[in-house]
Amino acid sequence: MTKGSGGGSGDGGGSGSGGGSGSGGGSGDGGGSGDGGGSGDGGGSGDGGGSGDGGGSGDGGGSGDGGCSGDGSGSGDDGSSGDGGGSGDAGSSGDSGGGDDSGCSGAVPDFRCLLQPSDPPCHVCSQSLSLLPHLNPNYRCNTSLLIDYCSKEKDGRHYYILIDVGKSFREQVLRWFTFYKIPRVDSIILTHEHADAVHGLDEIRSLQPRGSTDPLPVFLSQFTMKSISMKFPYLVEKKVKEVPRRVSLLDWKIIEENCDKPFTASGLSFTPLPVMHGEDYIALGFLFGDKSKVAYISDVSRIPPSTEYAISKSGAGQLDLLILDTNIPRKRGLHPTHICFPEALEIIKRLCPKRALLTGMTHDFDHHEYNEILVEWSLREGIHVQLAHDGLRLPIDL
């Protein structure tokens, strides 16, 4: 979550004049079927499949401009210094803001480590139950991002824009919305149609007032819309039922999988960033912010060259913040649908943001251990990089 225009250490605090973003938890392959089919780990192409920019090489050409400067120096184990570490997974004040959750599609702890523990037991999953979740950065819900955006209009109203509504959305609301006093959600943006991104849509009704209310805008690709129509037909059908039932009231808005087709959600402009989530599947990342530029890419196996150009120095100018998928620590062969830790660091070097947060980690990542590694990497490369954690809150001027 982010807020304000900068500064602020500790718990993210800091106010100021500008928006912000956070880096929230969890990513993963989504999998799962839900109320009606749906795909699993990358399933099918359908209307949205295809290759997009496909082809290309590796993670995409891209620029990067060589050696980056930036905020450099790493921070502590849990990233609570500099431009807005701290905790918190939702809203904030200031002129804009955001929040974040950081886990994979299955979330952490992993059921198998608890029900059929290994010898020795998994340290990360064991610790996940030994501490309260808000004190434990190794406890991870599905990846999401909540942006607390303060309108530039005279009224200075706060708008709450949520990217992805996964399987653990209810838990995220109970833990972080209540902690940060987030009163509502004004817009939803979906990266793709896997369970870790959409299976909390039914819970949106609990955020909406009873009685007459305007439907909540949901921005998504045509392919994701087609899948949701099968998984949640009762959220999509518009015909009047014989027996009224209370369901989420949603206004579906189709966006294009095209870097040249921006859209506006609750007053904030977003540029879609098509990326490969497995070679037969396109997911979306998003670029947003005028004063500060933020790129959010939570589910990716390869970034096509045209998308990498759109978020590079040559395209958008230097990023202030990159939030990037990193599903597994090291290459165990190539993961078919996610980048691994070394690949994420190579992408960060090419895109050269001032700061980067890694999200979507499995239980193979111990938060403190890997952030110690990243402190050294950050000092060496001149780019401040850390693992995100659930409830992370960052001030940033949008």
Query: What digits encode the pLDDT tens for the residues 234-243?
Result: 999 876 555 4
Question: What is the structure's pLDDT at 268?
Answer: 96
Q: Please give the average per-residue pLDDT across 116-121, as a whole number.
A: 71
Q: How far is the C-alpha of 235 from the C-alpha of 248, rounded, in Å? A: 6
173: domain CATH number is: 3.60.15.10
Question: What is the structure's pLDDT at 56?
Answer: 38
Question: What is the structure's pLDDT at 43?
Answer: 37
Residue 274, preceding bond cis, omega within 30 degrees? no
Q: Where do we find the tokens 């949106």?
A: 204
Rounded to a whole number of angstroms, the distance between the first and last alpha carbons of the chain is 13
Question: What is the structure's pLDDT at 115?
Answer: 65
Tally of domains within the chain: 1
Q: Label residues 235-255 b or e (16+ Cβ within 10 Å = b).
A: beeeeeeeeeeebbebebeeb
Give residue-wise pLDDT tens across range 305-337. Answer: 999 999 987 676 789 999 999 877 675 556 678
Quick check: 222 pLDDT over 90? yes
- The answer to whether residue 44 sits within a structural domain is no
Question: What is the structure's pLDDT at 245?
Answer: 62
Does the pTM surpass 0.85? The reply is no
Question: What is the structure's pLDDT at 125?
Answer: 62
Quick check: 49 pLDDT over 60? no
- The answer to whether residue 90 sits within a structural domain is no
Averaged pLDDT score across all residues of the chain? 75
Quick check: 128 pLDDT over 60? yes
- The answer to whether residue 191 sits within a structural domain is yes
CB 186 within 8 A of CB 160: yes
Quick check: 42 pLDDT over 80? no
Q: Lowest mean pLDDT: which of 100-114, 196-210, 331-345, 374-388?
A: 100-114
Question: What is the structure's pLDDT at 112?
Answer: 67
Q: Please give the average per-residue pLDDT across 159-187, as a whole number.
A: 93
Quick check: 163 pLDDT over 90? yes
Question: What is the structure's pLDDT at 137?
Answer: 81
Residue 106 binned pLDDT confidence (cut-offs 50, 70, 90): low
Question: What is the structure's pLDDT at 336?
Answer: 76
Question: What is the structure's pLDDT at 340?
Answer: 87
- The answer to whether residue 75 sits within a structural domain is no
Q: Which one has a higher pLDDT value, 67 or 295?
A: 295
For residue 207, give its domain range. Answer: 96-393
Q: Lowest mean pLDDT: which of 52-56, 204-208, 302-306?
A: 52-56
Residue 211 binned pLDDT confidence (cut-offs 50, 70, 90): confident
- The answer to whether residue 41 sits within a structural domain is no
Q: Which one has a higher pLDDT value, 32 or 394?
A: 394
Give residue-wise pLDDT tens across range 172-181. Answer: 998 889 999 9
Task: Please give, one letter per residue, the 3-state secondary structure of the chain.
Answer: CCECCCCCCCCCCCCCCCCCCCCCCCCCCCCCCCCCCCCCCCCCCCCCCCCCCCCCCCCCCCCCCCCCCCCCCCCCCCCCCCCCCCCCCCCCCCCEEEEEECECCCCECCHHHHHCCCCCCCHHHHHHHHCCHHHCCCCECECEEEEEEECCCCCCCEEEEEECCCCCHHHHHHHHHHHCCCCCCCEEECCCCCHHHHCCHHHHHHHCCCCCCCCEEEEECHHHHHHHHHHCHHHHCCCCCCCCCCCCCEEEEECCCCCCCCEEECCEEEEEEEEECCCCCEEEEEEECCCCCEEEECCCCECCHHHHHHHCCCCCCCCCEEEEECCECCCCCCCCCCCEHHHHHHHHHHHCCCEEEEECECCCCCHHHHHHHHHHHHHHHCCEEEECCCCEECCCCC
Bridge-based pairing of strands 216-220 and 250-254 is parallel
- The answer to whether residue 11 sits within a structural domain is no
- The answer to whether residue 59 sits within a structural domain is no
* Phi and psi torsions of 285, nearest 5°: -105, 180
Q: Which one has a higher pLDDT value, 240 or 73?
A: 240
Q: Which one has a higher pLDDT value, 365 or 31?
A: 365
- Residue of 295, 291, 253 lying closest to 271 (CA atoms): 295
Give residue-wise pLDDT tens across range 7-30. Answer: 333 333 333 334 444 444 443 443
- The answer to whether residue 18 sits within a structural domain is no
Q: Which one has a higher pLDDT value, 190 or 81?
A: 190
Question: What is the structure's pLDDT at 107?
Answer: 61
Q: Where do we find the tokens 């940033």?
A: 396
Question: What is the structure's pLDDT at 366?
Answer: 82
Q: Please give the average per-residue pLDDT across 273-286, as a whole number.
A: 96
Question: What is the structure's pLDDT at 330?
Answer: 72
Q: How far is the C-alpha of 394 from the C-alpha of 23, rounded, in Å? A: 8
Q: Please give the average per-residue pLDDT across 244-271, as a whole number.
A: 92
Question: What is the structure's pLDDT at 9?
Answer: 33
Give residue-wise pLDDT tens across range 348-384. Answer: 999 999 999 999 887 777 878 888 899 999 999 999 9
Q: How far is the C-alpha of 65 from the C-alpha of 136, rounded, in Å? A: 37
Question: What is the structure's pLDDT at 265?
Answer: 98
